Amino acid sequence: MSADILIIGGGPAALTAALYSLRGGCSVKFLEKEAIGGQIADSPRVENYPTISEISGLELSNQMFEQVTSLGADFDMDDAQSIEKTPQGFLVHGTYGDYEGRAVILATGVKHRHLGIPGEDKFLGHGVSYCAVCDGSFYAGKDVVVIGDANSALQYALFLSKTCHHVSLITLFDCFFADAPLVKALGDCPNISVTHCLSAQSFNGGSNLESITFQNTNTKELVTVPCAGAFVAIGQIPDNDRFGNLVDLDRGYIVTDEDMATRTPGLFAAGDCRKKKWRQVITACGDGATASLSAQHYLSVISSK
């Protein structure tokens, strides 16, 4: 059965698009390949969402999901592999099935950027993680390392400091690229130490992670930091090449106009997956609302012909 609006993704942009589409009287199906919430579900605290002074990213995501499913959104766990234009609209080929939509909104977000160093794949799930919220509890009372220098890395360090014995925050450059309140909170936390100008070289250990080797970017000296766990927070990358037949890409990000429209009529994009300057939960929600309204307008136009 074809949905009026088929949404690819399960983060704030996708869920907001689903909400607006349902409120507009459209049938909605959305696909998510991993977990509802996208990147925001990994955030220990969200403190810049209007009307909510503080909430975990996971809780915010769950509330959004419950809202749209209670309104009638159809949800499938699947990974969209490709998309094609058809006379009726669009056909999305997933890992487990095919899905039809008269209009489609791509809200695929981004995925975690990896360091690409020896041992990273070997110790994934055995000491190396990209989500402090998901895996932090496994390292209670232990020494851990957080690699990164922006908001996510600082949030991870602060979150882990509540349960871990010691948190070493290690950055590649000589400064932070994070919000001032987070930097201040970091300085006030007694069991967090910060070391700048270290480049990760390898993850080391037997069956589990035991240490990380770094190189000082100034002196070229090798430094080994013992730890039970390492949390990598060095940014995200898009994953949109599979849609390149119908959209224009700029460094992997989908190019849209201000109405979230791509070069293919009826195909829209919203959130972190599209080319834009700011990537925040609230801007993703705004994109989702705009994409939905644009998709509804598109459907009304083609229906009147």
Catalytic residues: 131, 134-135
Spatial contact of 145 and 229, defined as CB atoms under 8 Å apart = yes
Cβ-based neighbour number of residue 157 at 10 Å: 29
Concatenating the DSSP letter of every residue in 125-161 gives TTTEES-HHHHGGGGTTSEEEEE-SBHHHHHHHHHHH
Distance CA 20, CA 156 (A): 32
End-to-end CA distance of the chain: 22
Q: Give the residue carrying structure tokens 């997933």.
A: 94
Dihedral of the CA atoms 22, 23, 26, 32 (nearest 10)?
Answer: -20
Q: Which two tokens stand for residue 211?
A: 């240490």
Distance CA 128, CA 149 (A): 17
Residue 42's nearest CA partner among 133, 147, 105 is 133
Which amino acid makes up residue 210? E
